[in-house]
Chains A and B, each alone.
Chain A
Amino acid sequence: MSALLDVKNLTAGIEGKTILNGLNLTVNPGEVHAIMGPNGAGKSTLSSVLAGREDFEVTGGSAEFDGKDLFDLDPEERACEGLFVAFQYPVEIPGVSTTNFLRTALNEQRKYRGESPLDAMDFLATMKEKMKVVEISKDLTSRSLNEGFSGGEKKRNEIFQLAMLEPKLAILDETDSGLDIDALKTVANGVNTLKNENNAFIVITHYQRLLNYIVPDFVHVLHEGKIVKSGDKSLALELEEKGYDWIKDEVVA
């Protein structure tokens, strides 16, 4: 079986400062990977670099996504190939409803894949079905995208978009930050429903809390721009108990 995402010896940074420093990561379909680490370890940089944010510069290594060189693709091409990022700070777009935004996104992706655009009826039917998965209200989808949404509503909206766009690989970038326990459960429940043998998730988080609800197959610890320790879900619990200093000490030793 070929890997969905294969990152080898990746180095990248911003404004000349190296942040990712020889990172290796392999994700296969059907897997959930958690990436944990202290602040400044490079967690969010990893998702930005994979998504193709322009400010970041890739200085070495490679990343293959579903058999294609990821760094050969524009950000929108990566999205159309099936890479999705649930952002930590989703933007607001005044005057554009979530419905309209998603219909545009979905049809752009369909166009890329050579499929005909979804007509309004089919689109609305799909929406109705997916809205149930993430328990999002109709009121929210008809409002301007994220405008005036609470932190929890924004995150829920990210998961709703994930449900609609059905990516092969979804990166959840600290989706749990700022969420109360109920919102956290809803988000986790959404992910668990959407998970199947053909897609994969990378859950980036600072805390172990989310992993009580989204159970990872692998847990990786990111430190100073590389993965220094990998294990199963018990590693997350160990981190929770001992803190990150224990890893830092281990790396130094």
Chain B
Amino acid sequence: MSDSQQILEEVTGSEYKHGWVSDIEQDIDPKGLNEDVVRMISKRKNEPEFMLEWRLKAFRLWQKMTEPHWGNVTYTPVDYQDLSYYAAPKQKKELKSLDEVDPELLRTFDRLGISLDEQKRLSGVAVDAVIDSVSVATTFKDKLAELGIIFCSMSEALQEHPELVQKYIGSVVPAGDNFFAALNSAVFSDGSFCYIPKGVRCPMELSTYFRINAAGTGQFERTLIVADEGSYVSYLEGCTAPMRDENQLHAAVVEIVAMKDAEVKYSTVQNWYPGDKDGKGGIYNFVTKRGICKGERSKISWTQVETGSAITWKYPSVILQGDDSIGEFYSVAVTNNMQQADTGTKMIHVGNNTKSNIVSKGISAGRSQNSYRGMVQVNPRARNARNFSQCDSLLMGDQCGAHTFPVIDTRNTGAIIEHEATTSKIGEDVLFYCNQRGIDTETAVNLIVNGYCKEVLNQLPMEFAVEAQKLLEISLEGSVG
């Protein structure tokens, strides 16, 4: 357990601590989107032909689609022609080691709290950092390569392992899956690729940090994780962005494939800039995340702590195809001020004896709106499917809203599905009790909220859990009395 007092001291007074802009020279494409832009992105990255074809297919599908508006969120429409689809830190040549990275860029990582150097030596976490759209450095690559693990940027994967990318990209989230996924498929500029070979247990956490730096750009990264038979990997994703008055679009796609007896744990701490107190600025976070438990006894587990973004629209899902496979979703979603979140999961039971577990903890403060949207689907031939869902909402103050939209769609009578839900407020008597022990109200709220989220926070790797706790505290600062 981390020391909450120390954490409070660290965060007092800070609003959004990642709101700085790095002074890095950048290549930014002119605004607008058409086939030429798609071709140019692909060309610039020297991609194989299949990739360009796939992008163009996605782009054509996207053109025929309309932006979905079924989410419980409202926002000013995005002008897709007024965005720049590619922004990369300017680099003069290929980088061979961290020593060659722009020092300003390294300082950026320091401020993010992920000094790559430090990470490399001390923590045993391999980091792939993506600034704006381009992956800038991947640590620990050599060490991982010894085990046959591939962990690199998507661009690199397309050069070095095109056959793997071609085999799996779009296999879980197809090019035309939905409006934002189609857009991502057409213009994604980088992201992370990870392949764990048969029987290998990845000895360290793999981590990706995403950061939007440039103004007037969208970020579209794409992550693909393939865990071959009997392998295991724990993957972490963190994100931050500068404070800007305008809204910025982030439309990412994450695909996970777990083969027989493989296990993938994917943890996210999402801290995109949420906008100011009046709802000005902030990131539109429209993300498609889906995994498939392809083989028997495979397992995919999503854990997310969502504190940032002006709008969040995201449903990390699992297709339980293999018999005896397991899907899990653990989520804490915090909204404060004018933030809106519509998030949850989909568990699609296809194989026999499949199990899914959903724990969602929503916290609403300020004038925010927080929705849980979930679907548990059991196909006719999925025998003995089991699901347990727990959706809790915590309200702070009387201006915010909490909503749940759970859908259960079962076509097999043998399925056992349980759904529990609670809504609560932090009571005056609990706060007074804490006060009487010498704990001020702000600290008391943090203590109570951390307790409330414990089940989810416990799923996170240690270092991430500490970071997540700090974030919860910053996010809820000033939300009580």
Interface residues in chain A, defined as those with a beta carbon under 8 Å from any beta carbon in chain B: 51-54, 74-76, 78-80, 84-85, 87, 90-91, 93-96, 100-109, 111-112, 117, 144, 161, 165
* Shortest Cβ distance from residue B392 to the other chain A in the assembled complex, whole angstroms: 10
Q: Does B432 contact A (CB under 8 A)?
A: yes
Residues of chain A within 8 A (CB-CB) of B145 are: none
Closest A residue to B428 by beta carbon equals: A54
Q: Do B451 and A104 have beta carbons less than 8 Å apart?
A: no
Q: Which of B6, B439, B450, B451 contacts A105 (CB 8 A)?
A: B439
User: Nearest-CB distance from A121 to chain B (Å)?
Assistant: 13
- Verify B436–A104 contact, CB threshold 8 A: no
Q: Which residues of B contact A165 (CB under 8 A)?
A: 437-438
CB distance from A214 to the nearest CB of B (A): 21
Contacts of B447 in A (CB 8 A): 93, 96, 100-101, 104
Most buried by B among A75, A80, A109, A144: A75
Cβ-defined contact, B432 with A75, below 8 A: yes
A12 to B354 Cα, complex, angstroms: 62
Known: A96-B447, A107-B5, A144-B451. A79 touches B436 (CB 8 A): yes
**A-contacting residues, B393-437, CB 8 Å:** 427-430, 432-437
B448 proximity list for chain A (CB < 8 A): 93, 96
What residues on B are CB-neighbors of A144 within 8 Å?
451
Given contacts A76-B440, A100-B1, A108-B443, contact A52 B435 (CB under 8 A): yes
Which range holds the interface residue count of chain B? 20 to 34
Known: A91-B433, A104-B5. 4 other contacts (CB 8 A): A104-B447, A105-B438, A108-B443, A161-B437
Nearest A-chain residue to B427, judged by Cβ: A91
Which chain B residue lies CB-closest to A75? B435
How far in angstroms is the closest Cβ of chain B from A26? 23
Sampled A-B contacts (10; CB under 8 Å): A84-B436, A90-B433, A91-B430, A93-B430, A95-B453, A96-B451, A104-B447, A105-B438, A107-B5, A112-B438
Q: Which residues of B contact A78 (CB under 8 A)?
A: 436
Min Cβ gap B468→A in Å is 14
Instruction: Note all chain B residues with C-beta closer than 8 A to A79.
Output: 435-438
Inter-chain contacts of A95 with B (CB < 8 A): 450-455
Smallest CB gap from A89: residue in B: B429
* Contact status of A93 and B437, CB under 8 A, knowing A108-B5, A117-B3: no
- In the complex, chain B residues whose CB is within 8 Å of the CB of A106: 438
Given the complex of chains A and B, what is the CA–CA distance between A41 and B311 in angstroms? 55
Could you say which residues of chain A place their CB within 8 Å of the CB of B459?
none
Whether B436 and A108, one on each chain, are in contact in the complex, defined by CB atoms closer than 8 angstroms, is no
Whether a CB of chain A sits under 8 angstroms from the CB of B4 is: yes
